[in-house]
Amino acid sequence: MKFFIDTANLDQIKEAEELGILDGVTTNPSLMAKEGITGKENIIQHYVDICNIVNGDVSAEVIATDLEGMIREGEELAKLHKNIVVKIPMIKDGIKALKYFSNKGIKTNCTLVFSAGQALLAAKAGATYVSPFIGRLDDVSYDGIELIEQIRLIYDNYMFDTQILAASVRHTMHVIKCAEVGADVMTGPLSSIVGLLKHPLTDNGLAQFLADYAKGNS
C-alpha cells in the first residue's frame, strides 16, 4: 500500500518524507489556498518545490472544467516534472481529458469520486489513479470504506490497472480499514500517518527496557 500525504504544507511534506515511508503527495486548490499559495506562478513554483522534496507522484489539479482548458493546463503541469500526475475532476469533459492524457502516456488522478459508477468510468477512461473521498462520504452517513471495497471488487473483476487512491482520509482507522479492503494508496494528513506509530504499550515497554538496562549498567 502506498502512503501519500494530502497537503501543500512543505514542512509537513518534509517531515513525512524524512520518515522514509512517503510515496507521494496529493494537493488540491483548497489545500493550496490554506497555505496562502495563490496566483498561477506561485502555484506552479509550489508544485516544483514539492517535487524537489518527494521522490514519488505529486498530484497537481487543473482549474479548467472544459476539455480544451483541462488539456492545456494538464499539459503545462505535466511538463513541470516527471512525477507530476494531472488531477482531473469527475465530470463529463474530465472523462474525455482522462482518455486524452492516457493516450499520451501522461499520468492522471481522477478526483471527486463518490460512487462505484464514477470509478468505473474513470478506469474505462484509463485513469492512473481514482480518488474516492471516503471522509466526505462518512460525513454524510455513507460508508466510505464500503465504496473502496466495491471499487476493489469491480476493478479486480476486470483487471483494470487504475489504482484506488483512498482520499479524504481523516485518521488512522481510515488508513487501517483501507489497507484491510485493499486500497492501492491512501492519502491523508500527516497526523493519519504518524498516528499509526502510537501505542501506550510500546511507550511503557520501552521505558521499562531502558530502566532495566540502566539498573544493570550503572
Least CB distance to ligand G3P at residue 26 (A): 5
Kindly tell me which of 100 and 133 has the beta carbon lying closer to ligand G3P. 133
Is-contact 196 188, C-beta < 8 A? no
Which of 3, 5, 6, 71 is the binder for ligand G3P (CB under 6 A)? 6
Kindly tell me which of 179 and 207 has the beta carbon lying closer to ligand G3P. 179
Kindly tell me which of 10 and 31 has the beta carbon lying closer to ligand G3P. 31
The site for ligand G3P, by CB under 6 A, has a size of 11
Nearest to 121 by CA among 86, 97, 104, 103: 97
For the question of residue 87 being annotated catalytic, the response is yes
Active-site annotation holder among 2, 40, 82, 87: 87
Q: Which residue is nearest to ligand G3P (CB)?
A: 167
Least CB distance to ligand G3P at residue 204 (A): 33
Cα separation, 95 vs 82, whole angstroms: 22
Is-contact 190 166, C-beta < 8 A? no
195 touches ligand G3P by CB under 6 A: no
Kindly tell me which of 147 and 167 has the beta carbon lying closer to ligand G3P. 167
Nearest to 196 by CA among 213, 179, 217, 216: 179
* DSSP annotation string for 56-70: SEEEEE----SHHHH
Least CB distance to ligand G3P at residue 212 (A): 43
Least CB distance to ligand G3P at residue 188 (A): 8
Cα separation, 195 vs 24, whole angstroms: 18
**For residue 215, what are the contacts with CB-CB under 8 A and spacing of at least 6?**
none
Site residues for ligand G3P, window 83-142 (CB under 6 A)?
133, 135-136
Sign of CA dihedral 169, 160, 79, 68: negative
Least CB distance to ligand G3P at residue 68 (A): 26
Site residues for ligand G3P, window 137-176 (CB under 6 A)?
167-168, 170
28 touches ligand G3P by CB under 6 A: yes
Which whole-number Å values give the CA distances from 195 to 11, 168, 172, 180, 214, in the listed order? 17, 16, 6, 17, 29
Helix spans in 81-115 (H): 92-103
Kindly tell me which of 74 and 87 has the beta carbon lying closer to ligand G3P. 87
Which residues lie near ligand G3P (CB under 6 A)?
A: 6, 26, 28, 31, 133, 135-136, 167-168, 170, 187
Q: List the catalytic residues.
A: 87
